[in-house]
Structure 1
Amino acid sequence: MTTDINQYDFDLPEELIAQTPLKDRASSRMMVLKTGEEKIEHRTFTDIKEYIQAGDCLVLNDTKVLPARLYGMKEDTGGKVEVLLLHQHEGDVWEVLMKPAKKVKEGTVLSFGDGSLKAVCTKEMEHGGRLVEFSYEGIFLEVLDALGEMPLPPYITEQLEDRDRYQTVYAKEEGSAAAPTAGLHFTENLLQELEDSGVNLVYLTLHVGLGTFRPVSVENVEEHDMHAEFYTLDEEAAERLNKAKEEQGRIISIGTTSTRTLETIYREHGRFTADSGWTDIFIYPPQQVKSIDGLVTNFHLPKSTLIMLVSAIAGRDFILEAYRRAVTEKYRFFSFGDAMLILK
């Protein structure tokens, strides 16, 4: 049982955490892991066309990142506040993270920009969390688009010049606090080439929460409290996935978010079915991942839930060896980094 968090540690030089995206999305490097042979290949992301074949399903998460970071002030004192939207409760009530949280009490009114967006704190929660109710004229997402910034992960310290580079080219369903970053490598042309070659593109939605960046703070990973995220898989997508399974087509998941959605549904029903809800699934060895045959993912941080997930698919020892090689070969890590293709 590999439940000791230290068994997922490795030495990652800070300079390998990519701070900015490449100009050309598909020009990233790609490490290919063939788990059956324990073989590693070094390629470029556009070479993915050589590994995905007609009849396979690529499963993509079409969530769209909200410009969820707002800078404003308290109306009564003028004190500055930073607000990060986590998820919508109902109507204009949102759960948010607040800095400095201690200064914002129930009833505090906040103003953003030129006052076109205001919020009143309706409930204080733990760990800097608050419920706030927004008021505004017009359409909330349009107001947010004008005033908000992209909520880049804490490991990225440089400003993002083009906010679209933190969105996939197929992003559609607004609601994420972070991007499903494995999908950032795809261009519209590359997706079209894959589809033209007979590959099925299947879309689902999982709204990524900031819990995806939360470090594991317990020694025994079984004691880690996994964050919950909202997902949706529609009937057409489920039928296409089941058909692929029946006809021996492979299911290649794009990203850990797609994987968590597929595995949640597959474990619950024994097949793919239209479904939606909240998942707090935590995948780590020695669990088996039975819903997919391959995974495109980025290089993750030490001791993270994400490196545990890929270890459940490819094996911990093989993954750690691949990561050692990635460090030696100076692959770029994390959200704006290079890609890994894992094939069972």
Structure 2
Amino acid sequence: MKSSRVSDRLEELRRSRFVGRDREQTLFQSALDEAQLPWHLLYIYGSGGVGKTTLLREFAYICEQAKTPVVYLDTRNVEPSPDSFFSALQMVIGLEHQNQLWEWFASQPGHCVLLIDTYETLTPLEDWLREFFLPQLPENALVVLAGRQPPSSAWRADPGWQALMRLISLDNLNPEESRTYLTKRQIPVEQHSSVLNFTRGHPLAMSLVADVFAQHGNIHFRPEAAPDVVKTLLEQFVQEVPSPLHRAALEVCALVRLTTEALLCETLAIPDAYELFNWLRGLSFIESRLQGIFPHDLAREAISADLRWRNPERYAELFGRARGYYCKRILQTQGLELERALFDYVFKSPQVRQFFISSWD
């Protein structure tokens, strides 16, 4: 009898904890089921730790079950140059020469799939991939790119790729899926609400919290009591902060409901916040709306919890400056702007917020 490998056991354990992503799996499976691929590129994007790699592993499993050749390439350690990319791909497939790549793809009797993970590291190579590498692949090839950032305007502006590409914005698991995951990880049911209030269904966050329970037994979870969990999450969301001022801007963004350039100038006591605001807006976990920008819920919780734990005096200072800014707006505005200023002012005070809501009702 053939003995199983450690990798087999790892894969079995990973799959046993896989939850949700039904829509994404159905989309991927539907493409493989067609005699001719309806599209050739699946572009998946989402914040760090949201489950992109896990989903790619599930895609690989779907391919294996369907006897579809699949190649998985994680580009985090690949230099963003054509030669390095080709070399990495050759090594994964097991080919000796670069010109064998095209032959390998074309020689597959049916569809074949190329999964490229950590795609954000290949940003300098994007034009080459879009205009040379991908178009050279045979029609039986389906490529899946998974990275933190949405596709650039060059992808969206190309009529050809508009027709041959599908987009998936990967978000947190919904409440039902999240509770299923926590149950699988043997988290006590009475703790589910406190865990979900912090993690908001973020897969990595739930996994880290589940590890805390596994190590310490039946505890009452609080973010401030798990600084290692928060640190790991911050590393996933924020890979690099250029300066202390940028870090302060990020902390302000986590403390307020919506961030604007004017608010940054006031809270950080600087005359111009254009560069800081644009840096914030470019982060993968920052979202935009008409009135300003705001962080992903979990990123907000993690940054706030880290600041409260690391420097409570700084937390109080920034919070007070933001409150001062909103007080000025309340005195200087009226109508809809006044209503927004009031909501901004009470954003971190649930009891006061409930008072205002009750009064307006």
TM-score tier after normalising by the smaller chain length: under 0.3
Query: Using CA pairs below 8 Å that are at least 6 residues apart, which structure has the higher relative contact order?
Result: 1
> Over alpha carbons, which structure has the higher Rg?
2
Which one has the bigger helix percentage?
Answer: 2
Which one has the bigger strand percentage?
Answer: 1
TM-score, L = length of structure 1 = 0.27
